[in-house]
């Protein structure tokens, strides 16, 4: 269970440095019954199928290895729509630490856990209605991506 807390703490740390309102600590999570490599491949395919671009995949095992974990099955997948990220970064610079969106994957025995913060939380940083609609679309898309992985 220590590794789960460490991974979730790492996700929140990598999510950005701008403070969100207290009490808004919701995460979107899913468990894949597939192994790590299959889930990683399926996740990237689902992201692209939903109109997003995978901008990079970052290994996070280096810091975890230093803490005594012996695994290479921790990744963060960064994704977004480049023009959307540029437009929102210019209009709402306070969102820059949270863009592009990201999903963390880590192996748990023969299964894989995927987690990300709920994009609805970002509406506390940019409370205008057009951005609220955008954040809710991201939320629906992430849930749809997770649903695609369950099938």
Residue 17 is assigned to a structural domain of this protein: no
- Structurally, how many domains does the chain consist of? 1
| Domain with 34 in it | 26-150
In the chain, the N- to C-terminal Cα span, in Å, equals: 27
Tokens of 146: 């997770």
**Using an 8 Å Cβ cutoff, are 84 and 101 in contact?**
no
Handedness of CA 116, 121, 123, 129 (dihedral sign): positive
Residue 105 is assigned to a structural domain of this protein: yes
As a whole number, mean pLDDT of residues 78-100 equals: 97
* CATH, residue 142: 3.30.310.70
pLDDT category, 16, cuts 50, 70, 90?
A: very low
Residue 93 is assigned to a structural domain of this protein: yes
Residue 4 is assigned to a structural domain of this protein: no
- Please give the backbone phi and psi of residue 40, each rounded to the nearest 5 degrees, phi first: -60, -45
pLDDT in tens, 101-144: 999 999 888 889 999 999 999 999 999 999 999 999 999 999 99
Residue 35 is assigned to a structural domain of this protein: yes
In sequence order, what DSSP letters do the residues of 61-124 get, joined into one string? HHHHHHTT-----EEEEEEE-HHHHHHHHHH-GGGGGG-SEEEEEEEETTEEEEEEE-GGGGGG
Residue 80 is assigned to a structural domain of this protein: yes
Longest dimension (CA), the chain: 45
Residue 1 is assigned to a structural domain of this protein: no
pLDDT in tens, 91-101: 999 999 999 99
Residue 3 is assigned to a structural domain of this protein: no
Helix, strand or coil for residue 12?
helix
């Amino acid at each position: 269970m220590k590794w789960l807390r460490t991974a979730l703490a790492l996700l929140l740390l990598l999510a950005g440095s701008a403070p969100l309102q207290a009490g808004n600590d919701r995460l979107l999570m899913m468990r894949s019954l597939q192994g790590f490599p299959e889930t990683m491949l399926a996740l990237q395919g689902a992201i692209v199928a939903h109109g997003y671009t995978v901008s990079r995949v970052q290994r996070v095992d280096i810091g975890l290895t230093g803490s005594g974990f012996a695994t290479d099955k921790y990744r963060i997948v960064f994704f977004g729509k480049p023009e959307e990220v540029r437009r929102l970064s210019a209009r709402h610079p306070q969102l820059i630490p949270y863009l592009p969106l990201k999903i963390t994957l880590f192996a748990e025995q023969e299964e894989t856990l995927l987690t990300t913060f709920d994009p609805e939380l970002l509406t506390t940083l940019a409370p205008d209605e057009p951005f609220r609609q955008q954040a809710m679309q991201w939320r629906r898309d992430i849930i749809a991506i997770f649903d695609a992985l369950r099938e």
